[in-house]
């Protein structure tokens, strides 16, 4: 076969293979096809962003619809930087340990923090209990509160800005939150009521980096799905860094000396991908009646006489 023909044959084969691969990736029922509609779609998976070129980051601008799910924002096993898992058991629910001994990236609890941890009964991770025994406030449709809204079920968040606010619209539980940027100080926490989401103020530290601090959270919430606790004295710092037009990085640092021996990062340069401006965020309310039905039909009967491992 002449060299030219051989080259053409190889090229044709490569093109056909690529075409078949693309068709396979877009086969009916896959995420890509499901995302082609305009309503009620799930966000793209991580592979959709591989090798994607982006325009430069805009100056002092976080606005957009952001996909946190693609990089693991659901965080079902505990915060991304400290999942409550044993080495060698990346997914399995071993469960029923009294504490977090043996987890890959342990947290340094104070005695008070450890006692608080043990009162929280999660359904996942090394301390998992049966679904009927879980006392996760989210399972009863309590608000996630802040910072858990960024540390569990962090799926899609729309961020918008006004001259004095950053506004975050979270998909999970259809929750919104305000970060004030008008220079106001924190309220006097001896007087101000504790809030589910706390009191947040923030500022631009450079043209592409925005930092927010939050205090005044109530003590009803967990930090994550593995039942990590926090005290009312906790201070949380978020650092948003706009890497380019399509990429936002978020670092979340927990500072709660009453419960933890030192500050720790729950998210570290966690990547959010920008979604198209016409992406419709599907509602995700917590329905108390449906949750009660679930517990009655599934959660409670599934927990009866569960044998110990």
Partner 1 sequence: MKHKLLLASLAVVVSTFAAPLLAHHGNAAYNYDKKVTVSGTVTEWIWANPHSWLKLDVKDESGEVKHWIVEGSAPPTLSGQGWSHNSFKPGDQVTVTVIQVKNGEPIGRFQGDVVLNGKPFPAQVNGSSGASKGDSKP
Of residues 237 and 303, the one with the C-beta less far from partner 1 = 303
Q: Is 293 among the residues that bind partner 1 (CB under 8 A)?
A: yes
Q: Are 107 and 82 in contact (CB under 8 A)?
A: yes
Q: Which residues ranging from 143 to 172 are in contact with partner 1 (CB under 8 A)? A: 152-153, 155-156, 171
Minimum distance of partner 1 from residue 282's CB (angstroms): 5
Close Cβ partners of 111 (under 8 Å, ≥ 6 residues apart): none
88 φ, ψ (degrees, to nearest 5) = 85, -5
**CA–CA distance, 254 with 150 (Å, rounded to integer):** 12
| Eight-state DSSP code of residue 172 | G
**CA–CA distance, 126 with 102 (Å, rounded to integer):** 9
Distances (CA, A) of 119 to 27, 79, 150, 215, 243: 47, 18, 22, 23, 40
From 85, 103, 136, 168, residue interacting with partner 1 (rule: CB under 8 A): 136
Q: Is 307 among the residues that bind partner 1 (CB under 8 A)?
A: yes
Query: Strand, helix or coil at 238?
Result: strand
217 φ, ψ (degrees, to nearest 5) = -80, 145
Q: Is 28 among the residues that bind partner 1 (CB under 8 A)?
A: yes
Of residues 173 and 255, the one with the C-beta less far from partner 1 = 173
Q: Is 123 among the residues that bind partner 1 (CB under 8 A)?
A: yes
Q: Is 24 among the residues that bind partner 1 (CB under 8 A)?
A: yes
From 199, 221, 225, 260, residue interacting with partner 1 (rule: CB under 8 A): 225
**CA–CA distance, 230 with 223 (Å, rounded to integer):** 7
**CA–CA distance, 184 with 203 (Å, rounded to integer):** 11
Minimum distance of partner 1 from residue 87's CB (angstroms): 18
Of residues 189 and 286, the one with the C-beta less far from partner 1 = 286
Site size toward partner 1, by CB under 8 A: 61
State the residues that interact with partner 1 by CB under 8 A. 24, 27-31, 33-35, 37, 40-43, 45, 74, 76-77, 91-93, 95-96, 122-124, 128-132, 134, 136, 138-139, 152-153, 155-156, 171, 225, 282, 284-287, 290-291, 293-295, 297-299, 301-307
């Amino acid at each position: 076969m002449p060299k030219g023909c051989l080259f053409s044959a190889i090229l044709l084969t490569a093109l056909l293979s690529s075409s078949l691969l693309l068709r396979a990736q877009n086969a009916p029922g896959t995420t890509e096809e499901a995302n082609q509609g305009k309503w009620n779609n799930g966000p793209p998976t991580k592979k959709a962003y591989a090798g994607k070129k982006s325009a430069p980051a805009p100056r002092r601008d976080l606005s957009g619809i952001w996909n946190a799910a693609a990089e693991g924002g659901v965080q079902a096993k505990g915060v991304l930087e400290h999942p409550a898992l044993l080495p060698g058991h990346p997914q399995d629910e071993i469960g029923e340990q009294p504490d977090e001994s043996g987890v890959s990236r342990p947290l340094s609890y104070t005695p008070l923090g450890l006692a608080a941890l043990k009162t929280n009964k999660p359904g996942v991770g090394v301390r998992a209990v049966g679904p009927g025994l879980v006392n996760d406030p989210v399972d009863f449709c309590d608000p996630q509160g802040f910072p858990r809204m960024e540390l569990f079920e962090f799926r899609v968040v729309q961020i918008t800005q006004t001259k004095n606010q950053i506004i975050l619209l979270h998909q999970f539980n259809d929750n919104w939150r305000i970060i004030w940027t008008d220079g106001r100080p924190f309220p006097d926490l001896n007087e101000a009521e504790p809030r589910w989401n706390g009191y947040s103020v923030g500022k631009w530290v450079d043209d592409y980096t925005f930092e927010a601090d939050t205090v005044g959270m109530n003590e009803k919430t967990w930090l994550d799905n593995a039942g990590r606790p926090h005290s009312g004295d906790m201070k949380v710092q978020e650092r948003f860094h706009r890497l380019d037009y399509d990429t936002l990085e978020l670092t979340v640092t927990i500072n709660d000396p009453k419960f933890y021996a030192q500050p720790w990062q729950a998210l570290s340069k966690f990547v959010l991908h920008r979604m198209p401006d016409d992406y419709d965020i599907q509602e995700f309310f917590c329905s108390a009646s449906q949750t009660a039905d679930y517990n009655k039909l599934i959660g409670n009967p599934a927990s009866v006489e569960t044998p110990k491992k």
